[in-house]
Structures are given as C-alpha cells and as structure tokens.
Amino acid sequence: MPSKTSLQFETLSVHAGHAIDSGSGDVSPAVHLATTYERAKDGSFAFGYSYIREDNPTRKALESCIAALEGGSAAVAFASGAAASFAVFSLVQPGAHVLAPRESYHGTAKQLSEVLAGYGVGCTFIDMTDIAAVRAAMNPTVKLVWIETPSNPMLNLSDIGAISALAHDHGALVCCDNTFATPVLQRPFELGADIVMHSSTKYFGGHSDAMGGAVVVNDASLEKRLRMYQSTAGGVPAPFDCWLIRRSLATLKLRVQAQSQSALQIANYLATHPRVERVYYPGLASHPGHSLARQQMPHGCGGVLSFGVRGDKKLAFAVAAKLELFTRATSLGGVESLIEHRASIEGPHSVTPQNLLRLSIGLEHVDDLIRDLEQALQA
C-alpha cells in the first residue's frame, strides 16, 4: 500500500480513516454506539478508548478523513459548525482581540459579539476583502484573524494568502471557515492559514440529514488545546452523525464539482435575465473577486450563488414561491437545490439586500433547474 500522504484526494476520500473491520470483515464500517469501554484486569484500555466523549472509533474515522482531505495533521470533530467555531474562539484569552469579517456567518458574528465579549475577548468587524482595512486593524492585541471566503450570502472573496502573511507578521493566528469552498476548491493551509473550520452540516454531510462541525490544524500544540476543549466542553458529535458524514465524504469531490459547474451555468443564465438586477458569484468575470477567484479557487467557485431581483422583497418572495424544484429552506450543500430569502432569516439587523435570493445548487440536471428559474421569473 502506498503511503497515505502520497495518495490523491479521491483516494483519501474513500480510504482515509477506513479499514476493513478485523473482527467481522465488514467492508462498510460499523457504527460504534458504545458509550464506555472495558478495562483489562491490569486497568489498561486494550483499544485505547475509555469513554465516548473522550474518543470513539466512529468519530476517529471521521476525524482522520477530514484531516487527510484538508491536508492538516489532525481534525477535531464537533456536534455542529457553531460548536467548532466556538472551539477556535476558546483559544483566545481574555484581553485579546479577534478580527472578523463584517460579512461573517451570522451565528459566528453573534458568538463573538454576544458570548465572547462577555468573556473579555474583543472583536473588530472589518471589510476583509480590503487588505488595507486588515492592515489598519492590526495591533498587538489581535491574536486571531477569522476569514470566511466566499462570504455568505454575497459571495465576496478574501485573500487568504495576503491576510495570513499580514497576521503572521503581527503574531496572530489565522482561521479560515472553509465551509462554502470545501477542500475540493480551496486549500487554506497551502495559502498560509493555521486553522481550518467547517460546518460539516453543509457539503461534508451533503444530504441535509446530519449535523456536525470540524476544526482542522497542522500543529500538535494547537491540536492538544483543541482536544482538551473538545472533551471538556463536550460539544461532540454522536456516532451516527459521524458515520453519515464520513460516508458522504467519499463522494465530496464528485458532488462539489458537479454543483460548482451547475452554479456557474446558472449564474451565467441569471446574469442575462431582464428581471435580475445583479448576480453574486465569483465565477462570473463581472464579480469584483473574479481575479482572486482564479488564483484561490482555480477549480470552481462552489455551489452557492445569490441574485437580486429587479424589485423589492415582495417580488423576491413571489419568485421563490413559484419555484417547483428549488425547496424554500435555509442551509446549503445538500443534493437538493434550495432557495432562501436571506435577509429575513438573518433577522432585523441584517444588512443583506431585501431583493436578494440565495441559491444552493444540488445535483439535479442543470437544464431542469434553469427551466424552473425561467418559469418562476416570468412576469
């Protein structure tokens, strides 16, 4: 068997963290539901497991696979993306400061402004797409720079390489939320990030039926701190969710490539539609982040795009109501296409335009999706 580190992404998706069960010959791994493990007469744990929250075989398999796909030394799995982002923030000490994008996932921003602030961790929200703004916000108290690219729901891009170099000059760690791009399309470690965070609920799970999160690192001391937090704070995923997500990772690349190709076709279609005011997708030459996309996401820009209708919130709702193949629901990354009026899910403080609809493109045939949009956009 060749060394695992020399294997290609597709091969790792199938094999990393996956061994034939030596007790049964099972080709598909078992779901290990046990919460506790027998000790030998001498008090030792024969298989290295003692209690489910500390570690368990199903979670370990998932963690090994995520680490391999993201190109990190270890992944630490959590019960949700929110639990994973909070784990990263737990690395920041009181009195220190986090720089985060103004256009952060709303739950991430809320953790910083409403929970971490109470622990004495400061946060400044800036325009991360503007490297001058990042430079201006740097100071010795900044210990963590949070990047989320492409952003949600405007699909703006931040330059992971440039921001990481700047942060490291100032002694700060960089964490990239890679949920939208996935390691299929964007490689934050190769660009300089120290930590990669995922909501596994989205593309990793990929079928809208499992919740999870992960923090990936490339450094043993960061792993040690995160492992301590994982078992102590206890926001760990259940074995069956780990099993579902590990299973879905086998098809991650095929799914994301297909979703990304369809999204580009749909973006091109919408961009010429008379009832569409604007399309937000970095794969379009008209997008302000397009040249950065070509370097940072050379194989595609992902399966999420947004567009503004030529009209108000009422028209946006009317278009969403007419769609038959797109389901009106929040979330993204599943096999089924979804549409969402983002401003109303983000709440009264949302800065998202009221005429904006966000699409998560699934695995349906792109011609069927375009026909559905065509009929829904008819006056």
Ligand X SMILES: *Cc1c(COP(=O)(O)O)cnc(C)c1O
Query: What are the residue numbers of the active site?
Result: 53, 105, 177, 202
Neighbours of 279 (CB within 10 A): 22
Interface residue with ligand X among 17, 213, 283, 302 (CB under 6 A) is 213
13, 80, 111, 248: residue in contact with ligand X (rule CB under 6 A): 80
Instruction: List the one residue from 37, 86, 89, 105 that touches ligand X (CB under 6 A).
Output: 105
- Residue closer to ligand X, measured from CB, 152 or 230: 152
Q: Does 128 bind ligand X (CB under 6 A)?
A: no
* Helix, coil or strand: residue 360: strand
Check if the beta carbon of residue 166 is closer than 8 Å to that of residue 139. no
Q: How far, CA to CA in Å, does 48 sit from each of 28, 55, 258?
A: 22, 9, 40
Residue nearest to ligand X (CB): 81
Among the residue ranges 29-37, 77-85, 122-130, 187-195, the one whose residues contact ligand X (CB under 6 A) = 77-85
Region from 89-97, 176-184, 263-271, 275-283 binding ligand X, contact rule CB under 6 A: 176-184
Q: Which of 72, 81, 188, 303 binds ligand X (CB under 6 A)?
A: 81
Concatenate the DSSP letters of all residues of 206-241 into one string.
-SSS---EEEEES-HHHHHHHHHHHHHH--PPPHHH
Say if residues 309 and 355 touch (Cβ distance below 8 Å).
Answer: yes
In the complex, minimum distance from the CB of residue 211 to ligand X, in angstroms, rounded to a whole number: 6
Which residue of 156, 164, 201, 260 would you call a contact of ligand X, by CB under 6 A?
A: 201
Cα–Cα separations (whole angstroms), residue 341 to 20, 61, 82, 356 = 45, 37, 21, 6
Q: How many C-beta neighbours within 10 Å does residue 372 have?
A: 18
Amino acid at 282: P
Binding of ligand X by 202 (CB under 6 A): yes
Considering only CA atoms, which of 297, 300, 303, 301 is closest in space to residue 263? Answer: 303
Query: Per residue, what are the HEC states of 38-64?
Result: CCCCCCCCCCCCCECCCCCHHHHHHHH
13 binds ligand X (CB under 6 A): no
Binding mask 270-299 vs ligand X (x if CB under 6 A, - otherwise)? ------------------------------
The stretch among 17-25, 54-62, 100-108, 310-318 that binds ligand X (CB under 6 A) is: 100-108
- Rounded to the nearest 10 degrees, the angle between the axes of helix 366-377 and helix 313-322 is 130
* Smallest distance from ligand X to CB 71, Å: 19
Task: Indicate the residue among 177 and 340 with the shorter CB distance to ligand X.
Answer: 177
Contact set with ligand X (CB under 6 A): 80-82, 105, 107-108, 148, 152, 177, 179-180, 199, 201-202, 211, 213
